[in-house]
Amino acid sequence: MIDLPKTPSFDLTGKRALVTGASSGIGLGCAVALAEAGAHVVCAARRVDVLQESVDAMAAQGWSVEALALDITDMKALTAAMKGQAAFDVVLNAAGLARHSPALETTPQDYDAVMDVNVKAAYFVSVGAAHGMIAAQKPGSIIHISSQMAHVGGIDRAVYCASKHAVEGMVKAMAVEWGKSGIRINTICPTFIRTPLTEPTFNNPERLAWIMDKIKLPRVGEVSDIMGAALFLASDASAMVTGTSMMIDGGWTAD
């Protein structure tokens, strides 16, 4: 009798997950993916009204969810929130900020705003998640929504690219440090995804032409394209994956 290998489970029943930036767009999509797979999902965001509406819609599906009003750039609030919660099995950081302009026109205020969200907050979300996992002596998965721009350059995106390249380096170093504790940390790197926040870009004919020229598949990305990757990295199916990036870029970075 042949002993056939067993496919690892994507089931998250009994797991606790935190999703930041969960009120809309990619963050909401990821929260839905984890909740649908059985996790109890704490959905965090700054926009309390939109967040509650999203959480109510998820709860109406019978999923286990709760809302957490949180600005992850507020270090005191972030630390208190992470310490006030039981250890998470999965932490997915989807909060992000972009302020695009030619590099010569970048203001210190815009630079600081982008770095505070995309790098500093991401760093300390990771640290808070790892502290909880290590204290509880449990393995876990930390996931950051990064970008294809973490691997290439882009028009008017010097600050954004810098922030996302920084996240990739941060993740590699943390994977080395925390691997022995069973903590995995990775990034998901999407191409341009159609959300309410990106509609202005898609409505710009010049920008849309640039995007469609760079994406090798004949369409732009949708939120659903990210959800499977989030579930994979959150689950036991990715038990040997850490310190790396999952590219969901339609082939943008292939050449």
Say how far apart CA 109 and CA 93 lie, in whole Å. 23
Classify residue 11: in a domain, yes or no.
no
Q: Whole-number mean pLDDT of the chain?
A: 97
Three state DSSP letters for 119-188: HHHHHHHHHHHHHHHHHCCCCEEEEEECCHHHCCCCCCCHHHHHHHHHHHHHHHHHHHHHHHHCEEEEEE
Tell me how many domains the chain contains. 1
Q: Is 7 helix (H, G, I), strand (E, B) or coil?
A: coil
As given in the structure block, the two tokens for residue 240 are: 């040997």
Give the tens place of pLDDT for each residue, 80-115: 999 999 999 999 999 999 999 999 999 999 999 999
Residue 4 lies in a domain: no
DSSP code of residue 104 = G
CA distance 81 to 2: 50
45: closest CA among 64, 17, 73?
Answer: 73
Euclidean distance between CA atoms 128 and 58, whole angstroms: 26
48-75 per-position pLDDT tens digit: 999 999 999 999 999 999 999 999 999 9
Query: pLDDT value at position 197?
Result: 82
Tens of pLDDT, residues 107-123: 999 999 999 999 999 99
Q: Is residue 254 part of a domain?
A: no
132 in Cβ contact with 81 (< 8 Å) = no
- Does residue 89 lie within any of the structural domains? yes
Query: Which of the following is catalytic: 15, 76, 120, 160?
Result: 160
| pLDDT band per the 50, 70, 90 thresholds, residue 47 | very high
172 within some domain: yes
Residue 251 belongs to some domain of the structure: no
Answer whether residue 133 is part of any domain: yes
The reply to whether 214 falls in a domain is yes
Q: pTM of whole model > 0.85?
A: yes
Segment 15-38, tens digit of pLDDT: 999 999 999 999 999 999 999 999
CATH number at residue 204: 3.40.50.720
Q: Which residues pair with 193 in a beta bridge?
A: 221
Known active-site residue 164? yes
Specify whether 111 is catalytic: no
Domain that holds residue 162: 16-246
> How much is the average pLDDT of 219-245?
98
pLDDT at position 89 = 98
Confidence of residue 166 (pLDDT cuts 50, 70, 90): very high
Which candidate in 6, 15, 76, 164 is catalytic? 164
